[in-house]
Amino acid sequence: MASRLVGLEEIEAVARPIVERIVWCPVATVGADGAPRTRLMHPVWWWDGERPAALVSARPTPLKVRHQAVHPAVSGFYWDPSHDTVAIDADAEWVDPDQRAEVWDAIRAVAPPVGFDPALIWPEGPTAADCGFLRLTATRIVATPAAQEALRWQP
C-alpha cells in the first residue's frame, strides 16, 4: 500500500494516540547471522524533539548485545483489533550504565499505561546487574488508521 509523506506534526497527531493506546509492540532485530528475532517490548516514546525517541527496558543479554552491535536498527509494529497500525523503524543504542537512574526516573514519570515503574522488572533498582535500557530514535514511521490512507514520516 502506498503512503503519503507528511511532516512530524502530522504523523504525531495520527501515530501517537495509536501507540499510546496499544503500548506494547513486537520489536524485530537482526543478528550477525542475518536471522531476525522478535521480542515484545514496551517502548516509552517522546515526540517533542526533531525525531521521536523512546526508552525501553531491555536486559543486555549476550544475544541482544550482539544483535545491536552488528545491526543497530530495529523495527516495531503496533496493531489493534480495529486495524489501526503504526510501524516505527528506529536506530537503537544501549543507554550508558551511568545514565540508567536518569532513564529509570524518566520512564517512571510518564503516566501509566504509557509509562511504568521499572521496579516491576528490577526490584533492586537501576543498579541491578541485568538492568539495561535501549534508546530508540525513529528513522521512519508509517501510521495507518483503519480503512484510511497510510501516512509516512522520515527525517
More confident residue, 131 or 31: 131
pLDDT at 31: 87
Model pTM greater than 0.85?
A: yes
Is the distance from CB of 149 to CB of 1 less than 8 angstroms?
no
- Give me the mean pLDDT over the 46-57 stretch: 96
**Domain segments of the chain: what residues?**
3-153
- List all residues 6 or more positions away from 94 whose beta carbon is below 8 Å from its beta carbon: 60, 65, 68, 132, 133, 134, 135
CB burial of residue 114 (10 Å; 0-12, 13-18, 19+): middle
The number of beta carbons lying within 10 Å of the beta carbon of residue 24 is 12
Cis peptide before 155 (omega within 30 of 0): no
pLDDT in tens, 76-122: 999 999 999 999 999 999 999 999 999 999 999 999 999 999 999 99
Domain 3-153 falls under CATH 1.10.1040.10: no
What percentage of residues in the chain have a pLDDT greater than 70? 99
Residue 1 is predicted with a pLDDT of: 65
As a whole number, the mean pLDDT across the chain is: 96
Q: How many CB atoms lie under 10 A from the CB of residue 111?
A: 8
Mean pLDDT of all residues in 63-84: 94
Answer yes or no: is pLDDT of 64 > 70: yes
